[in-house]
């Protein structure tokens, strides 16, 4: 039913059209779910081939995400606007997702395990570096967080973010403050000075995360 290489032969050739592959996968799934008299039954080989195609399509689609994000940024779309489109909660999370997806070797599915393990190690190391920076700069972070939580003119949409930030102020560990401050940025259009300070912190933590893998490479 599917025009694919034999099962186990690997991904489809590079000239396959993604839309064509998606249509073939969908047709196989629908036939398997709702067999009809005018269609031949779906065989086990058909289903295995569909799964091979599905893995290839998922890899192709994953590779499109960083391309679209980069194009959106070039078109002037902010990280804040990208966050909900990517299903993440903050400007910083959107940029981190882009950095991870852009670095992922999506075009070599059989050689990605070690790279992805290393990428995850780099991500965790970057988070630890940010945590260290946050605790080294706890006074400044707490001062800014206190100013933001003291605001009384923010709308209801800010309530949850402010509550989390206020709760974090009671923790002796400042690790959570950078991300929580970043989450409040969208609520500060009427407070440009505070918004600018939050953006500076966000840019600094993103820089730390980007620089950490680079330092590892330089010392390797």
Domain regions of the chain by residue span: 1-76, 115-219
Kindly report, residue by residue over 110-138, the tens digit of the pLDDT: 445 556 567 667 778 888 999 999 999 99
> Does residue 73 have a pLDDT over 60?
yes
> Does residue 200 have a pLDDT over 70?
yes
| Residue corresponding to tokens 């965790």 | 124
- Which is more confident, 27 or 7? 27
Kindly report, residue by residue over 156-178, the tens digit of the pLDDT: 989 988 999 999 998 899 999 99
Contact present, 31 and 78 (Cβ < 8 Å) = no
**pTM, 2 dp:** 0.50
- Which is more confident, 87 or 151? 151
Q: What is the 3-state secondary structure (H, E, C) of the chain?
A: CCCCCCCCCCCCCCCCCHHHHHHHHHHHHHHHHCCCCCCCCCCHHHHHHHHHHHHHHHHHHHHHHHHHHHHHHHCCCCHHHHHHHHCCCCHHHHHHHHHHHHHCCCCCHHHCHHHHHHHHHHHHHHHHHHHHHHHHCHHHHHHHHHHHHCCCCCCHHHHHHHHHHHHHHCCCCCCCHHHHHHHHHHHCCCCHHHHHHHHHHHHHHHHHHHHHHHHHHHHC
> Does residue 189 have a pLDDT over 70?
yes
Q: Which two tokens stand for residue 88?
A: 């993440």
């Amino acid at each position: 039913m599917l025009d694919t290489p034999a099962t186990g032969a690997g991904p489809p050739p590079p000239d396959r059209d993604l839309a064509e592959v998606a249509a073939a996968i969908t047709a196989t799934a629908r036939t398997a779910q709702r067999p009809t008299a005018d269609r031949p039954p779906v065989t086990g080989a058909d289903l295995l081939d569909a799964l091979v195609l599905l893995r290839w399509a998922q890899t192709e689609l994953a590779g499109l995400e960083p391309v679209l994000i980069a194009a959106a940024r070039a078109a002037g779309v902010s990280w804040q606007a990208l966050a909900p489109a990517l299903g993440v909660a903050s400007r910083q999370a959107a940029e981190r997702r882009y950095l991870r997806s852009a670095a992922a070797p999506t075009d070599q599915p059989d050689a990605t395990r070690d790279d992805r393990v290393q990428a995850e190690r780099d991500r965790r190391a970057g988070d630890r570096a940010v945590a260290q920076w946050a605790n080294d700069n706890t006074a400044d972070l707490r001062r800014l967080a206190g100013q933001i939580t003291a605001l009384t003119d923010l709308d209801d949409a800010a309530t949850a973010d402010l509550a989390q930030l206020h709760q974090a102020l009671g923790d002796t560990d400042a690790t959570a403050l950078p991300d929580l401050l970043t989450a409040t940025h969208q609520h500060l259009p009427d407070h440009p000075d505070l918004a600018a300070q939050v953006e500076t912190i966000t840019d600094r933590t993103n820089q730390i995360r980007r620089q950490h893998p680079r330092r590892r490479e330089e010392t390797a």
